[in-house]
């Protein structure tokens, strides 16, 4: 993975986050540079260009790709925002979704397979059991402990690139249905969950992950992935460009 530019930039960035939610967060200059470098590598990829083209066709982003779209990605994923639980601490969406957080013995977020692989390789993560799979095993659900904190029904894409996940979550957050968006991966339907919460009149990313649909068998119980309490969105604010009322579900075909 270190030979692939986006993976290499992603792995370098993962080391600059503290999982415990009670720890104060402050972006260092080095972390800022690494997050920008990661976005630069992602913007060089076809999948991110396709995401921008898709959003541009729906007037959800500006024409400028390497400037305005990059700034939007940074704002959505890397700017520190008040935690949606309202406890007075801050975190970034990238930290929650891709890195993972811990609080009171539980793992919050943590929905990236590269982080899962790397933490298990380092001996920090212990796999417990798998749950139902989906999309030809491209979506997995597992139980695990991370530094002695528990995660039940953790949902991941498997084998997908960091730029793919950043692109599909961004598209679903900006253009998709409220909370859940149906997409087509190859020829398989999947559901992407994108929780949002309100900060200063703007929608911010609360959580993003692929959601496994409940099986038809009634005796199979599929619990909800544990996430933070999300403050309800103030739907009365319609002036901000990221207001998501009346937007249709986007069907994305990933080739």
Is 122 or 83 the better-scoring residue by pLDDT? Answer: 122
Q: Is the pLDDT of residue 72 over 60?
A: yes
Alpha-carbon distance values, 97 to 53, 64, 168, 212, 227 (Å): 24, 26, 13, 16, 10
Is 52 a known active-site residue?
no
Closest to 171 in 3D by CA, of 242, 94, 65, 97: 242
Closest to 167 in 3D by CA, of 42, 59, 13, 67: 42
Q: At what angle do helices 162-175 and 29-43 cross, to 10 degrees?
A: 90
Catalytic residue among 52, 70, 151, 211: 151
pLDDT band at 6 (very low <50, low <70, confident <90, very high): very high
Q: Is the pLDDT of residue 222 over 50?
A: no
Is 130 a known active-site residue?
no
Is 228 or 208 the better-scoring residue by pLDDT? Answer: 208
Pairing of strands 179-185, 188-199: antiparallel
151: β partners: 144
pLDDT band at 249 (very low <50, low <70, confident <90, very high): very low
Q: Is the pLDDT of residue 99 over 50?
A: yes
Alpha-carbon gap, residue 147 to 17, rounded angstroms: 14
Catalytic residue among 49, 66, 70, 111: 111
Could you tell me the strand order of the sheet in which 139-146 lies? Answer: 101-103, 106-108, 149-157, 139-146, 125-130
Is 151 a known active-site residue?
yes
Catalytic residue among 52, 66, 70, 96: 96
3-state secondary structure of 170: helix
pLDDT at position 227: 52
């Amino acid at each position: 993975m270190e030979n692939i530019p986006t993976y290499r930039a992603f792995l370098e960035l993962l080391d600059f986050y503290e999982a415990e939610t009670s720890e104060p967060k402050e972006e260092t200059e080095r972390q800022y540079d690494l997050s920008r470098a990661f976005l630069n590598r992602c913007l060089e990829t076809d999948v991110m260009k396709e995401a921008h083209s898709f959003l541009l066709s729906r007037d959800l982003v500006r024409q400028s790709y390497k400037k305005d779209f990059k700034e939007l990605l940074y704002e959505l994923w890397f700017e520190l925002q008040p935690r949606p639980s309202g406890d007075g601490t801050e975190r970034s969406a990238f930290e929650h979704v891709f890195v993972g957080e811990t609080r009171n013995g539980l793992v919050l977020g943590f929905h990236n397979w590269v982080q899962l692989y790397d933490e298990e390789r380092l001996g920090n993560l212990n796999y417990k059991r798998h749950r139902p799979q989906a999309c030809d095993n491209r979506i997995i659900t597992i139980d695990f402990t991370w530094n002695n904190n528990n995660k039940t029904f953790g949902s991941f894409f498997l084998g997908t690139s960091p730029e793919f996940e950043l692109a599909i979550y961004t598209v679903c957050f900006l253009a998709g249905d409220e909370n859940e968006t149906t997409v087509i991966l190859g020829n398989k339907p999947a559901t992407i969950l994108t929780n949002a919460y309100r900060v200063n009149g703007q929608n911010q990313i609360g959580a993003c992950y692929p959601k496994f649909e409940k099986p038809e068998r009634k005796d199979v119980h599929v619990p909800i992935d544990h996430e933070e309490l999300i403050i309800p969105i103030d739907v009365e604010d319609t002036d901000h460009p990221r207001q998501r009322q009346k937007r249709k579900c986007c069907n994305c075909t990933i080739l």
